[in-house]
Structure 1
Amino acid sequence: MAEIEVAKGATELKRELQRLVEAIVEEDENDDDYYTLEVIDHATRTLSAIRNLKSNQPQESVRLKGLYGLSEDCEGVPAEFRCPISGLLFEDPVVLASGQTYDLPFIQKWLKDGNLMCPRTNQLLPHTALIPNLSIKNMVVKWCKLQKYEVPSTLINNDPENPEMPPNHQNLDNLVELLEKLTSSSISDAKSAGRRLRMLTNRFPSFKALFADVSSALPRLFNPILLKGVYSDDDLQEDFVATILNISIHDINVMKMVSEIPSAVSLVIESLKCKRVEIRCYAAAVLSALSSLDSKKHELGSLGTVKLLIDLLEEGHPLISKDAAVALQNLCTVVENREKAIEDGAIAVLMWKILDSIDVGEMLKILSTLSTHHKAIKEIEEHGGVVLLFKILKDNTDEHNKETCVAILYTMCYNDRRKLRDIRGVENAYEILTQVAQTGTSRAKRKASGILDRMSKFAFVSHTT
């Protein structure tokens, strides 16, 4: 039994070593030297751990020291204060979409290498946005001071509660300087300013707030002349769209202000068409936010976003699909956009995704919204929707998904009485709605009972006539 565990550990470590060696070999000359040295050190420790495994050292000791890169001088640091990738004390902790915390340079490198899953949980990431973990920062600083451990300079400089943080007037000067650099004829200066603007709007709420407080900030940021340069460079475009996301999710008023700037909205929509995944990912996230504004749903729909979102859903990239689904659902609360979605092939895409068990909950919500339109009901039936919905009711354990399925069936049979015959045929064979009417959520019970009552009513009418 012990030999099996050791074998598993060796395989895990060898994979880790292979990944690290590939990262070292493929090192870009622009990569941070500190990061590269850390990767080399990690590879060395992993190789040493494999050697220790062959020498039959205790499995847990090998796993911690090798796989997570712990050195002797880091063993006294609590596990919750160490980055799972480097094994070192957090210096700039950020939260990934999976809810796990990592050190910024290491998780950025992980994502830049094209990894789509959380390193610790292997969960597919819905987006790659990174949020500073201020609570961990504060706890690490307090622990370091209590243990007389040197506090990393990044923790001091980035601590929003630290008096050494720049005051608001310096933030304003910084913003003005960056906006000027963005219009520079030098593309390298513009790209440097774009990166810094993205970083500052990601880390510091006080800096984000400037876009609400300074009336000229947003118009200058989305100056059409400036945006010509943005469209010509993928790196700059990614930083711009990420900045829009950072400032939009910070303040609903800023989101509304952004939505009123045509050049900003156009940038987001055009970014949905980009080849670079990260750009499309951030654009979909921004659109999921903008589409929640009732005042903008008609306008966004008229600009061709519905078809673009359906295309993104069909593409099925895990970092984009969820935000695309949210945006499409928001837009389809408007009748005109529902019609566009149906005409642009949404039903077929949704049905195939559900059939393949991909984001079933999100797809069912959109399908439920579209099913209120008579054209959608016909297409759902043509794609075998009745049987598929009953299959989900029978096999799926998610009560919310079951509730949505019943709601769709309810809408179908009330909007088109001819569909009641198909639903009744499946129900008579399996009595699935009868079971839902007894054990489902309150809404599912109500809808299922309504369908059963309607079936009984029209069965009686058919029999008597």
Structure 2
Amino acid sequence: MIVRWCENRGIKLPDHTYFNGEDEGLTRADRDHFLELLNNMSSTLPEQKEAAKKLRLLTKRIPSFRTLFGESTDAVPQLLSPLSRTKPGTDIVRNHPDLQEDVITTLLNLSIHDSNKMLVAETPTAIPVLIQALQSGTIATRSNAAATLFTLSALDSNKAVIGKSGALKPLIDLLDEGHPSAMKDVTSAIFSLCILHENKVRAVKEGAVSVILNKIVCRIHVDELLSILAMLSTNQKAIEEMGELEAVPTILSVIRETSCPRNKENCIAILYSICFNDRSKWKHLREDERMHRTLSQLARNGTSRAMRKANGLLERLDRAVNLTHTA
């Protein structure tokens, strides 16, 4: 605003005051400091640590610093250089977890800026460094790595890049471990990535179905995990695996317990897919109707979508009973 005011009145500011009027008032000294910090990421270990900590704070407190990473194709690789698999100092990850955490958190901060999402995902070392962090970091680092993948996956093109890079397996492993502080970030990342069909296939192959069902049985993050499971229920192999793992009684019990309409919708969508794929599962629905009348209650009190699918299952049950009586 000051720059524009001066320009409108013909007042010329000294060259050293502002390097770019569009960068929300960052001074040339700010930019020089930023470049110095990036250069220090390739210096001695103490300088790397100090620079990483400062970059973390700057990108958190001053959004304008996030845009600076887009000015050069070398900026993100410089930030990640201490953690790069191609560098000889790989032991840094194990011996200096604070450095890894600061670098990953900085990557998360700058990835929030929309113009950086593609830049980060297409940096060759970025996704491998995030995968490494998911596998070997502190729980805070692993959670921030998952959050970064979630943020980057806002772009469909990035969903494909992340999926092909093999990130779903360590995300599912982290979900399986069940650290409370990481669950929100990891479920968000898996859900976002699985919007892409190819990533659904990868997630099922990497064991997502059994991990998710185990968490739902334990009533851990049921809302988020039901959303993922409902999304995966459009995949044939996922449906077959849910049937093999006896998911139907578990899903019926969730319908009875939850008061969340969205959860009920996701549950009935999952049941619909399983039961119309495997006729042997109808026995669970018949037994449940005799004891609890779960579907009947949902058909009367659910959302329009839930009522429609519940009625579809009940009509199929009625036909099966009539056919049995006729026979």
Q: TM-score range by the shorter chain?
A: 0.7 to 0.9
Aligned-pair distance for 1:405?
0.7
Does the CA-based 8 Å contact 1:182-1:193 persist in structure 2?
yes
Classify the secondary structure of the residue corresponding to 2:136: coil
Match of 1:246 among 81, 93, 109: 109
Aligned-pair distance for 1:276?
1.6
What are the residue-to-residue correspondences of 1:12-161 with 2, within 5 Å? none
Percent identity for Structure 1 against Structure 2: 40
Could you tell which deviates more after superposition, 330-339 or 167-176? 330-339
Identify if the C-alpha distance between structure 1 residues 225 and 429 changes in structure 2 by more than 3 Å, giving closer, same or farther: closer
Does the CA-based 8 Å contact 2:127-2:165 persist in structure 1?
no
CA distance, structure 1, for counterparts of residue 91 and residue 321 of structure 2: 62
Give CA-to-partner distance per residue, 1:364-421, whole Å, 9 cap, x none: 1121122222322232233331111111111222222112111111122233344334
Aligned to 1:326: 188
What are the residue-to-residue correspondences of 1:228-307 with 2, within 5 Å? 228=87, 229=89, 232=92, 233-249=96-112, 251-307=113-169
Aligned to 1:191: 49
Aligned-pair distance for 1:353?
0.8
Aligned to 1:96: none
1:374 equivalent in alignment to 2:233: no
Aligned-pair distance for 1:459?
4.0
Letter in 2 for 1:167: L
Runs of 5+ consecutive residues of structure 1 not aligned to the other structure: 1-164
Aligned to 2:177: 315
Letter in 2 for 1:237: Q
Letter in 2 for 1:238: E
Going by fraction, where is helix more abundant, 1 or 2? 2
Aligned to 1:358: 220
Does the CA-based 8 Å contact 1:191-1:236 persist in structure 2?
yes
Aligned-pair distance for 1:189?
1.2
Match of 1:181 among 3, 24, 40: 40
Does the CA-based 8 Å contact 1:399-1:441 persist in structure 2?
yes
CA distance, structure 2, for counterparts of residue 317 and residue 424 of structure 1: 37
CA distance, structure 2, for counterparts of residue 199 and residue 265 of structure 1: 22
Aligned-pair distance for 1:204?
0.4
CA distance, structure 2, for counterparts of residue 404 and residue 455 of structure 1: 20
Letter in 1 for 2:191: Q
Aligned-pair distance for 1:440?
1.5
Give CA-to-partner distance per residue, 1:304-336, whole Å, 9 cap, x none: 222211110111111112211122222223344
CA distance, structure 2, for counterparts of residue 213 and residue 193 of structure 1: 19
Aligned to 2:206: 344
* Greater RCO structure (CA 8 Å; 6+ sep): 2
Does the CA-based 8 Å contact 1:230-1:236 persist in structure 2?
no
Does the CA-based 8 Å contact 2:104-2:141 persist in structure 1?
yes
TM-score, normalisation: structure 2:
0.82
CA distance, structure 2, for counterparts of residue 264 and residue 458 of structure 1: 55
CA distance, structure 1, for counterparts of residue 91 and residue 25 of structure 2: 32
Structure with higher Rg: it is 1
Aligned to 2:14: none
Could you tell which deviates more after superposition, 234-243 or 435-444? 435-444
Does the CA-based 8 Å contact 1:314-1:349 persist in structure 2?
yes
Aligned to 2:261: 399
CA distance, structure 1, for counterparts of residue 206 and residue 135 of structure 2: 16
Classify the secondary structure of the residue corresponding to 1:192: helix
Aligned to 2:3: none
Number of aligned positions between the proteins = 299
Aligned-pair distance for 1:205?
1.2
CA distance, structure 1, for counterparts of residue 305 and residue 242 of structure 2: 22
